């Protein structure tokens, strides 16, 4: 049986730094997998490779048995994988609703000629997309902020909005880069229950997370990355109780 | 009356140029300082076709010139897809200097520094546009269509997409969109607007020379967008009408023409500085 997402022998160097070394793992469909490891372990680099923003020196990635090697980021989104960024990268001068709308694929009127020659059709198609985007915002609990500019949203709301934007793409595998970092307790609960809800709706999640409490609560499976290499894979209980991994994670290591 | 009419005609031609510059610089964030070069190519092409031994009429000349300017603008904007922001300004500066050199030195094609006189007036299906009054109608039609097209694309998903690209290309690609295609589309539209403006300009004045399409002209276009306001239709219309009123007002003051030209440049420069410092969103726009 082919794996849902298969990462095979990735190698990547940034100058003298070997960010990924023969990194291999698989992810199962419908599960929440947490990617953990100390700073500089290569977690974000893995995300960049899977989503096509970085070409690895070696190795390959396959999704549902289909190779993603050499595909551009937008093609990988259409293949069904979308990501968020650690530093959010929202469009701060646009409204929350417009941020979600940018993510919706296949809209009529994204080509200027279509918009000029068929204005009525464009307007009707827009109205439908707007409804879809509103539903996505409702889903993450931001419906009442739809008309607000992103820069006026709180940090917690902005994090929820990044999730809404990847949901809008229709992707089934979501790569979330530290969705829970820097959040207050209330916002943390909101995002954790959202992630659970997405899993129940059939999404598969790969999540970079530092907070061990969050990992314990949401992860079905944990990948422990160290110096660009997969050191261990298992249930959160097993990974967290392993003294060798704790030593690497909390200090002393290198 | 002709005085007022010719002001309106020129302002409307510059509205098309304002829309072009606003699309590229204000909306897509491609900071070009060579829009006057594209404007010039449109003007010279229309002049060339209408003055050829076997002349074309106005509409076909305009269509060919606009198509050429679409291709040209895509070509000169392509470096912006490889080099970003500040570096593209320098590249685009080079393109403008190159164009001015060609306009000035290619005597057979452009008449060189002496310019190209005797460009015939347009003829619209047997309706000669010979008086300034008729020209106002013609230019109002073109500027109106330009504004309509601008308004339609800005409220469509394309408008949202290019605004998003201006903010963060990486995030747009991560949202599954083709950044390259959207930028090329914006450049194509900007080229069509600039080329059309060039054709109207050449036939209206019946004489063109390189001084209308040099770096000063490109910077005047940027000043119009800054003063009028970036990313809005109103800004693209207000900027040209306001800035072109200035030389007209200076002609009413009793000063020698040599001083008037210098005074005009001085005031344009001051306006640019004052707006960037104190009102970067212009009169009716958003922050550039």
Q: CB-CB: which of B155, B164, B188 is closest to A102?
A: B164
Which among A135, A212, A222 is positioned nearest to A181, based on CA atoms?
A212
Q: Residue B87's pLDDT is what?
A: 83
> Over the stretch B109-134, which tens digit does the pLDDT of each residue have?
899 999 999 999 998 888 888 899 99
Q: Residue B23's pLDDT is what?
A: 94
CA–CA dist A156, B64 (Å, integer) = 53
Percent of chain B with pLDDT over 90: 74
Nearest CA distance, A164 vs chain B (angstrom): 11
Q: CB-CB: which of B168, B175, B185 is closest to A111?
A: B185
Q: Which of residues 138-197 of A touch B (CB under 8 A)?
A: 165, 168-169, 171
CA–CA dist A24, A7 (Å, integer) = 5
Nearest CA distance, A26 vs chain B (angstrom): 22
Q: Which residues of B touch A98 (CB under 8 A)?
A: 160, 164
Contact B164 A91 (CB under 8 A): yes
Contact A116 B149 (CB under 8 A): yes
**pTM (two decimals):** 0.91
CA–CA dist A105, A80 (Å, integer) = 11
Residue A254 scores a pLDDT above 50: no
Alpha helices in chain B (DSSP H): 2-21, 35-51, 58-77, 79-82, 85-105, 107-110, 132-155, 157-167, 169-174, 179-205, 215-228, 233-252, 257-278
Chain A within 8 Å of B182 (Cβ-Cβ)? yes
Q: Please count the other Cβ atoms lying within 10 Å of the Cβ belonging to residue B126.
A: 6
Nearest chain B alpha carbon to A122: B156
CA–CA dist B147, A126 (Å, integer) = 21
Q: Residue A253's pLDDT is what?
A: 44
Contact A53 B170 (CB under 8 A): yes
Residue A212 scores a pLDDT above 70: yes
Q: Which residue has the higher pLDDT, B137 or B251?
A: B137
Nearest chain A alpha carbon to B156: A109
Percent of chain A with pLDDT over 90: 88
Tokens of A171: 């992707």
Q: Which residue has the higher pLDDT, B233 or A248?
A: B233
Strands A229-234 and A221-226: what pairing? antiparallel
Cβ atoms of residues B177 and B8 within 8 Å: no
Can you tell me which residue has the tokens 């770096």? B215
What does each C-alpha distance from A179 to A99, A160, A176 come to in angstroms?
17, 8, 6
Residue A248 scores a pLDDT above 90: no
Tokens of A187: 């916002």
> Over the stretch A101-119, which tens digit does the pLDDT of each residue have?
999 988 899 999 999 999 9
> Over the stretch A56-87, which tens digit does the pLDDT of each residue have?
999 999 999 999 999 999 999 999 999 999 99
Which among B22, B21, B72 is positioned nearest to B43, based on CA atoms?
B72
Lowest mean pLDDT, pick from A3-7, A243-247, B102-106, B139-143: A243-247
Contact B174 A109 (CB under 8 A): no
Q: What is the mean pLDDT of chain A?
A: 94
Chain A within 8 Å of B145 (Cβ-Cβ)? no
Chain A within 8 Å of B178 (Cβ-Cβ)? yes
Q: Residue B142's pLDDT is what?
A: 97
Cβ atoms of residues A33 and A241 within 8 Å: no
Residue B288 scores a pLDDT above 80: no
Confidence of residue A1 (pLDDT cuts 50, 70, 90): low
Q: How many CA atoms lie within 13 A of B10 on its CB side?
A: 17
Q: Residue A126's pLDDT is what?
A: 95
Q: What is the mean pLDDT of chain B?
A: 92
What count of CB pairs under 8 Å joins A to B? 102
Q: Which residues of B touch A116 (CB under 8 A)?
A: 149, 152-153
Which among A5, A23, A2 is positioned nearest to A203, based on CA atoms?
A5
Nearest CA distance, A122 vs chain B (angstrom): 7
Tokens of B84: 């970003």
> Over the stretch A17-35, which tens digit does the pLDDT of each residue have?
999 999 999 999 999 999 9
> Over the stretch B11-24, which tens digit does the pLDDT of each residue have?
999 999 999 999 99
Confidence of residue B154 (pLDDT cuts 50, 70, 90): very high
Confidence of residue A2 (pLDDT cuts 50, 70, 90): confident
**Residue B28 in 3-state DSSP?**
coil
């Amino acid at each position: 049986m082919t794996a849902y997402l298969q990462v095979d022998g990735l190698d990547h160097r940034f100058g003298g730094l070997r960010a990924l070394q023969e990194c291999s793992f698989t992810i199962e469909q419908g599960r929440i997998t947490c990617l953990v490891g100390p700073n500089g372990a290569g977690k974000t680099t893995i995300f960049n490779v899977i989503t096509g923003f970085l070409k690895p020196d070696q190795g390959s990635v396959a999704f549902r048995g289909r190779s993603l090697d050499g595909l551009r980021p937008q093609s990988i989104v259409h293949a069904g994988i979308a990501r968020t960024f650690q530093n959010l990268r929202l469009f701060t001068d646009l409204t929350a609703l417009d941020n979600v709308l940018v993510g919706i694929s296949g809209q009529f009127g994204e080509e200027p000629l279509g918009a000029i020659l068929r204005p009525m059709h464009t307007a009707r198609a827009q109205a439908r997309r707007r409804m879809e985007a509103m539903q996505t915002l409702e889903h993450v609990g931001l419906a009442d902020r739809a008309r607000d500019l992103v820069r006026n949203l709180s940090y917690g709301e902005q994090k929820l909005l990044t999730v809404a934007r990847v949901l809008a793409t229709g992707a089934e595998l979501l790569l979330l880069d530290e969705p829970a970092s820097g959040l207050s307790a209330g916002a943390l609960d909101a995002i954790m229950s959202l992630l659970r809800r997405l899993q129940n709706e059939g999404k598969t999640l790969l999540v970079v997370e530092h907070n061990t409490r969050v990992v314990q609560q949401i992860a079905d499976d944990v990948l422990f990355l160290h110096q660009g290499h997969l050191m261990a894979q298992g249930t959160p209980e097993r990974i967290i109780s392993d003294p060798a991994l704790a030593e690497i994670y909390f200090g002393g290591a290198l | 009356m002709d005085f007022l009419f010719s002001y309106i005609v020129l302002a409307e031609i510059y509205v098309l140029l304002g829309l072009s510059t606003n699309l590229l610089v204000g909306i897509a964030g491609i900071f070009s300082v060579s829009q006057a070069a594209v404007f010039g190519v449109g003007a010279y092409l229309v002049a060339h076709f209408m003055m050829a031994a076997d002349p074309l009429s106005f509409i076909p000349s305009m269509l060919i010139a606009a198509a050429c300017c679409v291709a040209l603008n895509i070509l000169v904007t392509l470096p912006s897809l490889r080099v970003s922001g500040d570096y593209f300004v320098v590249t685009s500066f080079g393109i403008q200097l190159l164009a001015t050199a060609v306009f000035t030195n290619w005597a057979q094609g452009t008449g060189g520094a002496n310019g190209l006189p005797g460009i015939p007036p347009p003829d619209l299906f047997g309706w000669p546009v010979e008086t300034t009054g008729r020209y106002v109608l013609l230019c109002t039609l073109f500027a109106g269509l330009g504004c309509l097209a601008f308004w339609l694309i800005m409220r469509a998903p394309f408008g949202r997409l290019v605004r998003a690209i201006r903010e963060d290309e990486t995030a747009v690609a991560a949202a599954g969109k083709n950044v390259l295609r959207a930028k090329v589309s914006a450049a194509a539209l900007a080229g069509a607007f600039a080329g059309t403006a060039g054709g109207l300009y050449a036939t209206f004045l019946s004489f063109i020379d390189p001084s209308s399409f040099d770096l000063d002209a490109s910077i005047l276009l940027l000043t119009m967008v800054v003063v009028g306001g970036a990313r809005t239709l109103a800004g693209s219309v207000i900027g040209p009408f306001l800035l072109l009123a200035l030389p007209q007002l200076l002609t009413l003051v009793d000063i020698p023409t040599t001083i008037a030209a210098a005074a005009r440049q001085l005031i344009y420069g001051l306006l640019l500085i004052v707006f960037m410092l104190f009102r970067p969103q212009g009169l009716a726009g958003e922050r550039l």
